[in-house]
Structure formats: structure tokens, C-alpha cells
Amino acid sequence: MGDTIRASERGLQLIDIARRRKGWTKYSSPIWWDTAHTSKATLSRFLAGHRIERETFIEICAAVGIPNWQDIVDLSPEPIDPDLERDYRRATGESGTPTKTVSIGYSDRHPSQNIARQFYRAFRDAGYHPFLIGDDRQRGFTWTQTLDSALQQSDYLLLLLDREGAKSEMVTEVVQRAKESDRPPEILPICVDLPEIGFLNPDLQGHLQPIKPLDWSFSGDNRNVVREVFDSIAQSRSWRRSENDIAPIIDAGSTHSTPPLPTAAPELELPNGQVELVSQFYIPRPPMETRAMEFVTQPGALIRIKAPRQMGKTSLMARLLAHAERCGHRKVSLSFQLADASVFTDLDRFLQWFCASIGRRLKLENRLSEYWDEIFGSKDNCTAYFEEYVLPELDAPLVLGLDEVDRVFQYPAIAGDFFGLLRAWHEDAKNREIWRKLHLVVVHSTEVYVPMDLNQSPFNVGLPVELPEFSSQQVEELAKRHGLNWQTSQVTRLMEMVGGHPYLVRLALYHVAKGDLSLDEFWKPAPSLSGLYGDHLRRHWWNLQQYPDLLEAIKRVARSPEPIRVEAILSFKLYSMGLVSVGSNTVTISCQLYRQYFRNCFGID
């Protein structure tokens, strides 16, 4: 039997309202079960709250006029494995009255789904407060609000990482939100039959780097894993590694930089974060990339790379850093997404983290205590650390790549001072030799909406690089590199749905080249949660739920067939998410994928 689900009590009430509007009776309207391609008996089981096949469940909802079937699914767990419960009771000794909240993150696929529900039942029966974070259950406004509330209140986030979850944008977003919450939960990752931790997508790997995961294997005995989970929660124990056990941080651009030779049968690569330097699936975008390569090695250079999410900013930065390294420069890549929320509590702590992180990547001894003097300000201390220690220690210029600086924009009290400091260093390079050794590459997704003095901003100097979407010729070339001999009409059909967005194009080409689906099979379900981009669209929907003004703005944009005016800060944020294209004073939806998906979400015909 396939995956089965049932409607919640509230869901059945919504079903009843919908069928009354159609004038159907519960059990005497053949049009209902005929339209749903099922039987009267199955419909009766559905209406009685029993589990039925997922596909039939969806058909019944669609027939009665409820397209968002996820909103009415019951989240009850499957029966628990008795062995798992016994292991729990052995681990905890059933002592005390636990009151901790545990969120359980997993992809909505077997077998992680079953393991998650078993843990859910064990936690609940023991008196904990569990919450299931699945990929396809109870979607909608209520679900997203409940999820955010659960993460804010959670003491622990148990993360089950199988092959689906390891690559999931939604799972990565859950982890990032958890780390950025006011009271971050302890994260307990379990790799479910993963070949290696390196199988995780780069962002998720970065978030989990300080934490030692456990391995769940279906060919072995996992009782020790269960005991460790419950022991850790009962004893409030963290899985964080010691400083000495944390693996060295790999900079963007640190992989082999020799371009690959063409092959007759290319080894396909699932698009997932930065495109490796040796990958044949990287498509250059001249002439601005050529200009940036020339500029990055100039003394005191400052390059600003701006584009929406998943457009290739980090991949370009990696290539700039690798080019500089080949020219004899030192390089460091630092992503602000890797910083814990506590780092942004005040400027002094933030700049100390900044100095220590760069020194660590250069394998320099941490000497903050020698250069940090409370008599002087934080910016002066940070400047001294670079001017008197970091830069003199290096026998070559340093190219510093700063990725995801949008994270800093969220903290205006820090942003103004930090970006003003970068501008001051850049200006000093015009007059002082030591600062000519520092070359900056700054990567961001959105316009700078933090109030700043124009003379103190690094975002109006240096070389600006704004990444465009792929042209039809570039998409055709990328298709060839995937071993697809596409005609112009096929390229056009793909771009009608996703435009020239690099990530969306590559994901489609990867799955078509793998034989997972044809272009025709890709097309119809693409703008839905059941299609190829379901995980991607789900992440956008959750993000928009956090900001009612953004949600209303995208609703207006999706409804309008023409470009419309939107408040500047809202258009900046929607652009940074990749959802809109920005004109001189107007915005329009960036591609049909988003237009169709959001129109469906908002019930727009």
C-alpha cells in the first residue's frame, strides 16, 4: 500500500462547507466520487476520518474545490515501534516530569517520516512537547505560524537528514531560523543512511559544522542512537564539538581550479550551492566577469557582486578568489550566514568574531587580547588588528571575500559602523601601503536599505557587478553540457516557465538529463508543491509568511499582468529573493513559475 493520510477534524469541517456550496450531499452525489476517480466506499472512509491513499485524498479535495489539500491533513503519528519506546524508557529511567519542547525536522519521505513519528510518540508519551516539521503536511498560514512558534519555543531540534533532507532548501531554512531565533534550540542531527556528512548542501553543512552528528543505519542496531538522543535531552547535553575537533573551514574557491576537459558523457551534478571550480556546468557571463577578474588583483580593489538568491554570486566570488590565488595572493572567504545570532548582539562582539574568523582561516594565532583595548573603540581595535598584525604577517596581498552580507543589514546598529569601517579601509588604500594589501569582494542580494552616509558606504565605490539571468544561448549551451541536444523551441519552452534563472534552469536540465522526467512532464506540475520546484517554492512561501507587507506585495504583483509600483524597501526585498524583476520605478513577477504558484496560493483565477 502507498502512503496514506487522513483529514483532520477541522479539515473535515472545511470539506463539508465546500461540498454544501456545490450543492452535493455527503453520500448521494456520484459526481463527487466520479470526479475524484474513486469509489463511494473510499469517499465514505475519507469522510469518516479514516486513512486513504494520498493520491485519492488529493483528488477528493480537488473535486470539491479545495486545491490546498495540505491545509486539512491530520498530523497524527504512526504507531510507535515498541523497541524504540523501550529504549527510551531504559535511557531515561522514567524519572522526573520532563517539560522540554522538541521539534523534529525531517523530509516527508519514507523512511525518515516513520522514524520521526516514532520519536514523536516516544517524546509525547514521556511528557515532552514534540512538534513534527515535515515537508508536506499541514501547509498554509496556520502551519507556518505554528512552525515559527514551535522553533521559538523549542529547547531541542532533532534533525533527521536522509538524502532528500540533506539537499532540501526547506530543511536548511529551518536550521537557519532555529539558529537565528531569540533562544536558539540545541540542534541534534542524525544522518539517516547518508554516505557522508559532505553529502549535505553547502549551507546546511556550514550551519552544522560545529555539531557532531549521529548515524542511523538500517543495516545495524540503532539503540545506542536512541539512548544518546534521550540521554542528551534528559541531561541537557549539547552535541557541539570541542574547538580542536571542528574540521578546518573550506574557503569558497579552495577546490582544484584547473578547468575541466570536455567529456562525451558528462557526470551530472545536482545544482546545490556554489558551482565547483572544476565543474563544466559553470556558465561565464561576460563581459563583466572578465572585467572583475582583471580588477580583483589591483591594489586596494573593492568589488561588489549583487544579484538575487541562487543566481551564482558565490560561484563567481570563488572564481575571483581562485584567480587571485593563482596570481600569488592569499585569499579568505567568510559567509555571515555561519555566524550565530549571539554574534550580532553588539558591535564589539561582532568585530571580534570577524577578526578571529579571518585569522583562523589564515591559520594565524588568535591575538585579540593583545590588540583589544576598551579605552579605544571597537572599530579602532579592529583596524589595529588588521593593520598591525594580520596584514603584516602575510607575505602577499589578501583578497577577502565577504558572502551573504545581507545578514548584517538585519542589524542596523552594527551595519552602519561595520560597512563604514570597510569603506574607511578602502579609502586608506589610496594613501597607505599597508591597506593596498587588502582587496575586498562583497557579495549581497539586495539594495542597501540601512541608512548610511554616502561618504561612509562601501556600496557606492569600487567595481559593481550585477549578475544577469542566462540568455537563451547560454541555456542552450548548458543543455548541451548536460548531454541534451535541444532545439530552440525546447529552450524557449523551459524559459517560458523559469526564465533564465541559473538555479531553476540547472535543476530542470539535471532531472531531464537523468531521465527522471521529460520536458512535457516537467511543465504542468512545475508551479505546484508536487512538482520539481516544490521544496524551493515552499521555502519562499514560508519566508513570505513572516512579513505580511511582503505577502501583500507579492499578491499584488502576481495578480497584475503589467508592472506595478511597490514601496521601495519591499521591492528591494522581493528582488533579493529572486521573485521580481525591478524596472525604473516598477516591479513585475520574475517568471511564470512564481506567477502561477502565488496566484494559486492566493486563489487568484
**CA contacts within 13 A on the Cβ side of 341:** 12
CA distance 582 to 322: 32
Determine how many CB atoms are found less than 10 A away from the CB of residue 225: 16
* Torsion sign, CA atoms 116, 117, 118, 122: positive
Determine how many CB atoms are found less than 10 A away from the CB of residue 79: 8
288-466 fold? Rossmann fold (3.40.50)
pLDDT value at residue 579: 94
> Which has the higher per-residue pLDDT, 438 or 376?
438
Q: Considering only 44-48, 199-203, 370-374, which range has the smallest mean pLDDT? A: 199-203
pTM score above 0.85:
no
Residue 89: pLDDT over 60 = no
Over residues 566-577, the pLDDT tens digits come to 998 899 889 888
Residue 400: pLDDT over 50 = yes
Residue 347: pLDDT over 80 = yes
Residue ranges per structural domain of the chain: 4-72, 82-242, 288-466, 472-523, 535-601
Cell of 38: 474513486
pLDDT value at residue 527: 93
Confidence of residue 364 (pLDDT cuts 50, 70, 90): very high
Instruction: Write down the CATH number for the domain with range 82-242.
Output: 3.40.50.360
Residue 255: pLDDT over 80 = no
pLDDT value at residue 139: 45
Confidence of residue 80 (pLDDT cuts 50, 70, 90): very low
Per-chain mean pLDDT for the chain = 84
DSSP state, 429? T
CA distance 572 to 590: 13
Q: What is the domain class of 535-601 according to CATH?
A: mainly alpha
Contact partners, residue 531, CB within 8 Å, separation at least 6: 522, 524, 525
Can 4-72 and 82-242 be said to share one CATH topology? no
Q: DSSP letters along 242-296, please?
A: PGGGSPPPPPTT-S--SPPPP-SS-------SSPPTT-TT----TTHHHHHHHHT
In the predicted model, what is the mean pLDDT of residues 301-329?
Answer: 95
4-72 fold? 434 Repressor (Amino-terminal Domain) (1.10.260)
